[in-house]
């Protein structure tokens, strides 16, 4: 579970709530028609912009920002090196019995193709296609949250304009102008909150998660190709460590030196 997502959203609402409490009556900030315009309008716009099958996956997309864990790239490299050692010692066919212990589907796909003697270029093409499809799915999910972040403030402004028109059309009671103006502005507030506290931060978190998963999949792809080529496990390790940031690479080398 990614606590930073939960804490960030909760803290955002808490700060807004604190400002409302310090600023006056809570009831003045509650307007059901404004909520309907902003949330309903944003949902309608997203539904118009994306296929229904994609929109129905939005709850799952949101859950990924909370329950998706950070990929352990160092552990993944160690796993690939261990497979390289097995292939070097016992032959690549020995990896066939290890596929049941592999959790990543791309890794299983690559190893099975390598064991079957598939042409290296074809293995790389198939694995790259799988990676590209995954990136497209992630981009679609992020795109929906980005769309909510765009549409919510727009519908907030639409609601404000509707309220202002209604208020200006009924100027017979000057005492009601202030209350009407306040109610009209609430839709803009709701739209800004929905966009900047929920939709856009979650979209950015999905981008981070996508980059982490793409890195892990790339390590798997390069590792499988290196093992299939018969590279020495040490060479495989050096190749894959280039994907680590300098600090993580230095830490891995220091741990290896200490173990030696």
Per-residue pLDDT at 54 exceeds 70: yes
Identify the band that residue 260 occupies on the pLDDT scale cut at 50, 70 and 90: low
State residue 179's pLDDT score: 66
What are the Cα distances from residue 92, in Å, to 42, 77, 78, 79, 95? 53, 18, 17, 15, 6
Tell me how far apart the alpha carbons of residues 229 and 88 are, in angstroms, rounded to a whole number: 10
Q: Name the region of 166 (left: φ>0; alpha: ψ -120 to 50; beta: rest).
A: alpha
- Where do runs of H (alpha helix) occur along the chain? 3-23, 32-35, 41-49, 52-55, 58-67, 73-90, 105-115, 120-168, 177-193, 200-228, 233-241, 246-259
State residue 121's pLDDT score: 92
Element (H, E) at 195: none
- Mean pLDDT, the chain, whole residue set: 88
Tell me how far apart the alpha carbons of residues 170 and 191 are, in angstroms, rounded to a whole number: 25
| Structural contact between residues 221 and 128, judged by C-beta atoms closer than 8 angstroms | yes
Per-residue pLDDT at 219 exceeds 70: yes
Identify the band that residue 108 occupies on the pLDDT scale cut at 50, 70 and 90: very high
Please work out, in degrees rounded to the nearest 5, the angle formed at the alpha carbon of residue 73 by the alpha carbons of 67 and 77.
140
What's the whole-number mean pLDDT along residues 141-151? 95
Per-residue pLDDT at 176 exceeds 80: no
């Amino acid at each position: 579970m990614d606590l930073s997502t939960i804490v960030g959203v909760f803290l955002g609402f808490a700060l807004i709530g604190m400002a409302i409490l310090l600023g006056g009556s809570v009831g003045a900030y509650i307007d059901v028609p404004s909520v309907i315009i902003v949330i309903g309008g944003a949902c309608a716009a997203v539904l118009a912009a994306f296929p229904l099958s994609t929109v129905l996956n939005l709850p799952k997309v949101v859950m990924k920002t909370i329950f998706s864990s950070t990929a352990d790239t160092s552990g993944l490299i160690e796993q690939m090196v261990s497979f390289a050692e097995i292939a070097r010692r016992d032959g690549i066919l020995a990896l066939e019995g290890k596929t049941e212990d592999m959790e990543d589907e791309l890794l299983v796909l690559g190893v099975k193709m390598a064991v079957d003697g598939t042409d290296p270029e074809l293995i790389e093409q198939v694995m790259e296609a799988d990676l590209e499809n995954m990136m497209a799915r992630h981009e679609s999910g992020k795109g929906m949250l980005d769309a909510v972040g765009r549409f919510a403030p727009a519908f907030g402004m639409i609601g404000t304009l509707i309220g202002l028109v209604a208020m200006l059309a009924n100027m017979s009671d000057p005492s009601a102008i202030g209350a009407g103006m306040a109610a009209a502005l609430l839709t803009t507030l709701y739209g800004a909150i929905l966009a900047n506290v929920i939709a856009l931060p979650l979209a950015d978190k999905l981008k981070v998660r996508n980059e982490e998963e793409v890195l892990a999949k790339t390590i798997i792809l390069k590792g499988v190709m290196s093992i299939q080529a018969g590279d020495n496990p040490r060479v495989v390790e050096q190749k894959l460590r280039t994907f680590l940031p300098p600090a993580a690479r230095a830490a891995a080398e220091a741990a290896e030196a200490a173990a030696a």
